[in-house]
Amino acid sequence: MQETGKRQENLGIAGRQVDYKDVSITYKTPTPSYAERVLLTYNEEEAHLFKVLLRQTRRPELGDKFSSRHGQKGVCGLIAQQEDMPFNDLGMVP
């Protein structure tokens, strides 16, 4: 059975017919990502659902928002070189 570009089949599971409809989504961003969390669940009709939470590691840019664990929020307004950062008498940079 065909349906406007989406595949649909009848699969026999445990002696009964179950409709299968492919509604998968492809990830199209060229940046590499890591799977943070994978969730597999199903309902009373044994229809399975997979959810994948992806994360990307990237450099901060001007205008990126950040927040601390205590809810303090801020926006990146300046990206300075290491040699331009302030330091103390021990050479530690904040």
Q: Tokens at residue 54, please? A: 């992806």
Over residues 28-62, the pLDDT tens digits come to: 777 788 889 999 988 887 788 888 888 888 888 89
Number of residues in the chain: 94
Q: Residue 64: give the domain boundaries.
A: 2-84
The pTM for the full model equals: 0.42
Q: Can you give the pLDDT at residue 58? A: 83
Asked if residue 91 is part of any domain, the answer here is no
Asked if residue 26 is part of any domain, the answer here is yes
Is the pLDDT score of 4 beyond 60? no
The strand ranges marked E within 1-94 are 2-3, 6-13, 16-21, 34-42, 48-55, 65-67, 73-75
- Tally the domains of the chain: 1
